[in-house]
Amino acid sequence: MKFTLVASLGLLALVLPPATSWTQEDESEVAAVDAHPQPGPEDFEAFATLLTGTTLRGFFTMRNAPEGTLPRAESYQIKQVKQIGEDGRTWTFLASFNYGGRNWDLPLPIMVEWAARTPVITLDQFTIPGMGTFNARILFADGQYAGTWAHGQEVGGQMYGVVVPAANDIE
């Protein structure tokens, strides 16, 4: 037996309460719910403190990998993170990592967008000489990170892990 759209809407009409008129008071309640806390200097300082002198230790996946392919381990050392400007959007990351069998220590200018007070590293067609072009969205919360990444058009996936302070970093 097929459920038609009309029958589905009819069931919704039976379950949902009758419509009421929308008031100015209702609009102000919605506006209060939609008002997200904006990041401020304390959030910027906490972000720099969270990442400076740490290792991002976790895993990455590859989209379109054969079924059963396990995530692969990865790590990135973040030596220093410094805010550039006052709006909290532009940062310099001094990062150390292994790529293509070579160790890299690079200062990278990174855009950080804020989802309310949650920092999200944002790379859009970000070119690193000798490595290629990358896109990424990686959020940081509660000492963890998670997001998506792409290297060019064909390669990409998800990445996730924990932020490990240097004093606790044991490989």
Percentage of the residues of the chain whose pLDDT score is greater than 70: 77
The whole-angstrom separation of Cα 133 and Cα 150 is 8
| Region of 53 on the Ramachandran plot (φ > 0 left; ψ -120 to 50 alpha; else beta) | left
Where do the domains of the chain lie?
Answer: 5-34, 41-168
Closest CA to 141 of 165, 115, 122: 115
Q: Give pLDDT tens digits for 131-145.
A: 899 999 999 999 999
pLDDT tens-digit readout, 33-71:
556 788 999 999 999 999 999 999 999 999 999 999 999
pTM: 0.75
Q: Report how far residue 72's alpha carbon sits from residue 62's, in angstroms, rounded to the nearest whole number.
A: 9
Q: Which CATH class is domain 41-168?
A: mainly beta
Strands annotated E in the chain: 54-60, 72-84, 90-99, 102-115, 118-128, 132-141, 144-151, 155-165
**Structure confidence at residue 22 (pLDDT):** 55
